[in-house]
Amino acid sequence: MSWKTLDDMDLSGKRVLTRVDINVPVEAGRVTDATRIERIVPTVQDILAKGGKPILIAHFGRPKGKVVLDLSLRVLRPALEAALGRSVRLIETLDGAENLTAEAEAADVLLLENIRFYPGEEANDPDFAARLAALGDVYCNDAFSAAHRAHASTAAIADLMPSCAGRLMQAELQALEAALGAPKRPVVAVVGGAKVSTKLDLLSNLVEKVNVLVIGGGMANTFLAAQGLNVGTSLCEHDMAKTARQIMTKAADQGCDIILPADIVVAREFVENAPHETLAVHLCPDDAMILDAGPQSVARVAQAFDAAKTLIWNGPLGAFEIAPFDAATNAAARHAAERTRAGKLISVAGGGDTVAALNRAGAADDFTYISTAGGAFLEWMEGKDLPGVAALGR
């Protein structure tokens, strides 16, 4: 798909409507993690450097088309100003945006109040989109994480004015294209997490696209059970056994190797440092649960990484939140980071648990690209069209 970037746009003297994702965690009126705010800084700085006036459009929480004072973007303004090193003026209503005061005009950056306060946003209402479009000259979408939503500020607006991708959107699309669109082969995908049922589309798409698929976490238990192995009291979707077998058959037909645990770490309770043992995969006791993959499994995953040129990672290999059941995820993540650092692997990862797991392993900084987009990242991996991206390519 072809889409324009900020490099393709003349922004001098232009008002640039910039869709961003600054939906950050807040406690007691303070931003507790400004990562998403920090990630929009290059786009805003580039717009300013090109002589443009950034007008930020953002959502916060789920107000469902109503004004909810607790979800005002006012609370984010100090963190935005700190990250940008610029004055940010909150415009509380669309009426206010249509009739800017001299004081607002003088601010470096304008921030429209929570766009989801308006029912027209989530309805992708064309009239609402037209009202938004009239506020600016150019549209820039820098919110890949909201690109799977067909909303007025992510989809309809792009058809109404010159449009481009911001730096974060550009980086995300380039990383995903390198991982799944036209990747260097062999390609390995790691998919973990609790349930097969939530990742059916993902698994089905990946076995057609990758050379090796590593399945970990609770999902692996469902595949093991589908092969007739005992998984004790483990998290397992026994009703998904037929589906798991269908995925394995499809993988074999496509020439995709599936790696499941060869050895397992089991315990009787899910608590930190619970008494545990490492066993061959077919020896799980009836009263135990599988909480991690064992060292033989990790060695096999590392071997796959060594042979690969591209890695896509979504989800942990075990119960990474507590020791010692984080060992497989940590070891595999560090090996991938080492290969990436050596220039031998392109590694792209995404999804909430994934980012947390790679951070815990101390591996995140060495990955080629880490997506914080969550749902949009997953839908891209599932092979679905994202409305916000498609709109930029029209």
Segment 236-250 mean pLDDT: 97
> With pLDDT > 70 as the criterion, what percentage of the chain qualifies?
99
Residue 277 tokens read as: 């043992």
Mean confidence (pLDDT) of the chain:
95
Q: What is the pLDDT of residues 269-288, one digit of tens each?
A: 999 999 999 999 999 999 99
Residue 32 pLDDT > 90: yes
For residue 376, the model assigns a pLDDT of: 87
For residue 225, the model assigns a pLDDT of: 98
Contact, 244 vs 226, CB < 8 A? yes
Q: What is the pLDDT of residues 195-207, one digit of tens each?
A: 889 898 999 999 9
36 catalytic residue (yes or no):
yes
315 catalytic residue (yes or no):
no
Q: What is the pLDDT of residues 117-145, one digit of tens each?
A: 999 999 999 999 999 999 999 999 999 98
Catalytic residue among 4, 14, 50, 195: 195
Angle at 155 between CA 114 and CA 166, to 5 degrees: 75
Residue 27 neighbours by CB distance under 10 Å: 8
Q: What is the pLDDT of residues 362-376, one digit of tens each?
A: 999 999 999 988 888
For residue 1, the model assigns a pLDDT of: 55
d(CA 201, CA 184) in angstroms, rounded, equals 23
- pTM, entire model: 0.88
375 catalytic residue (yes or no):
yes
Angle at 206 between CA 360 and CA 305, to 5 degrees: 50
Catalytic residue among 13, 51, 181, 352: 352
Contact, 314 vs 191, CB < 8 A? yes
- Cβ-based neighbours of 337, under 8 Å, separated by 6 or more: 347, 361, 362, 363, 365, 366, 367
Residue 100 pLDDT > 90: yes
> With pLDDT > 90 as the criterion, what percentage of the chain qualifies?
87
Q: What is the pLDDT of residues 300-339, one digit of tens each?
A: 999 999 999 999 999 999 999 999 999 999 999 999 999 9
Catalytic residue among 232, 375, 383, 384: 375
Would you give the end-to-end CA distance of the chain in angstroms?
9
